[in-house]
Amino acid sequence: MAWKDERETLWERAALLGMVGSGFLLALKLVGGLLAGSTAVLADTMDSLADILISGLAWLGIQLSKRPPDEEHPYGHWDVEPIVGFIVAGLLVIGGIEFARYSIGLFSSPRTPTILALYVMAIDLMVKVSMARYTLAAAEKTRSPALKASGENYRSDIYKSAGIILGLWATRQGYPILDPLTGLLVSLWVVKTGLQVGRENALQLMGTVPSPAMKQEIESLVMGMEKVIHTHRVRLHGMGAYFIVDLHVCVDESISLSEAHRVTHNIQRRIVEHFPEVASAMVHIEPLDIHCARRPPAANQKVDKPSESYKGQPR
């Protein structure tokens, strides 16, 4: 639980960083874009606005997901995060389409922005580099796919900002049509981001397997434990930023019920301890009969001796 508390703290810090940093960039690009007369810089304010919404709704989702399970939500409130993400995706697509229409309308009368636009985007580039580094470092420490997605988003923004700077430079070299063109490309970038975010959250809500590699790692961990002869039907279900694990384990049919119960507790404990992103594990014990392949553990598998002092209950 201490690790999960630390994880939530890092989430909140990253979300607040996203809101503050994106809020600063939104104000900078809005004022700078208007003063410099740059469609591309103004178009990029949509991206900063989207980052504020994503970070703000993510922070709200974290607060809501902290609520303990109740009778109506026995597995907790973690699914609020992908629901919030789906709403944000819709806002991104709508905003991107609207600004694309605005950029197309300026093709008939393009204008050359002042050098202020280049300074604004240079500051944007430096801030995005800092935000990407912090968020990706936090994602690596917490194993959070949500933070990793945010960090990758900031990192992709670095290349987008560099592209806008290049377009602004070319515009000032005598090609004013590149300013609304860059604005249109940025708008389409925002639409693409919205569709991608929507797809990822829709797949999570549909119960798509989050990590095949993690499934194999769970199987290997369980197969190395005492009394376990075989495991099958290992299933993972995403619940916000956490996972629910469900698996079947085969043991010798001659062991007592109390021994089988102890094996179940130890498997649940090991899975939750080894995978901090797992909120709970459901273990179904089966006798080694026609339903289980008679396949003993490999000779090189480590047999884990569970702690006899463990008295807690599985999550």
Whether residues 125 and 155 share a domain: the answer is: yes
The reply to whether 234 falls in a domain is: yes
Q: What's the CATH number where 15 sits? A: 1.20.1510.10
Whether residues 113 and 192 share a domain: the answer is: yes
- Domain finish residue from 183, 205, 227: 205
Whether residues 201 and 227 share a domain: the answer is: no
Bridge partners (DSSP) of residue 242 are: 239
The reply to whether 314 falls in a domain is: no
Q: Which parts of the chain have pLDDT scores under 70?
A: 1-8, 57-58, 61-62, 64-66, 69-70, 73-81, 142-147, 149, 207-211, 239-241, 289-315
Q: What pLDDT score was predicted for residue 256?
A: 84
The reply to whether 108 falls in a domain is: yes
pLDDT, tens digit (0-9, with 9 covering 90-100), for 231-243: 888 887 776 667 7
Per the structure block, which two tokens stand in for 274?
A: 């080894």
- Where in the sequence is the domain holding 258, given as residue range(s)? 212-287
pTM: 0.62
Whether residues 141 and 248 share a domain: the answer is: no
- Domain finish residue from 154, 179, 205: 205
Whether residues 273 and 145 share a domain: the answer is: no
Q: What's the CATH number where 216 sits? A: 3.30.70.1350
Q: What pLDDT score was predicted for residue 130?
A: 93
Q: What pLDDT score was predicted for residue 123?
A: 95
Q: What string of DSSP letters covers 282-306?
A: EEEEEESSTTS---PPPTTSPPB--
Whether residues 39 and 151 share a domain: the answer is: yes
DSSP code of 184? H
Whether residues 223 and 170 share a domain: the answer is: no
Whether residues 115 and 260 share a domain: the answer is: no
Whether residues 223 and 133 share a domain: the answer is: no
In this structure, what are the phi and psi dihedrals at residue 168, rounded to the nearest 5 degrees? -65, -40
The reply to whether 293 falls in a domain is: no
The reply to whether 315 falls in a domain is: no
Whether residues 35 and 164 share a domain: the answer is: yes
Whether residues 272 and 168 share a domain: the answer is: no
The reply to whether 310 falls in a domain is: no
The reply to whether 299 falls in a domain is: no
**Contacts for 123 with CB less than 8 Å, ≥ 6 apart:** 28
Number of domains in the chain: 2
CA angle 139, 149, 278 (to 5 degrees): 55
Whether residues 98 and 217 share a domain: the answer is: no
Q: What pLDDT score was predicted for residue 70?
A: 67
Q: Position of tokens 């469609």?
A: 39
Q: What pLDDT score was predicted for residue 226?
A: 79
Q: What pLDDT score was predicted for residue 313?
A: 38
pLDDT, tens digit (0-9, with 9 covering 90-100), for 109-156: 777 888 999 999 999 999 999 998 988 888 777 666 566 767 777 887
The reply to whether 294 falls in a domain is: no
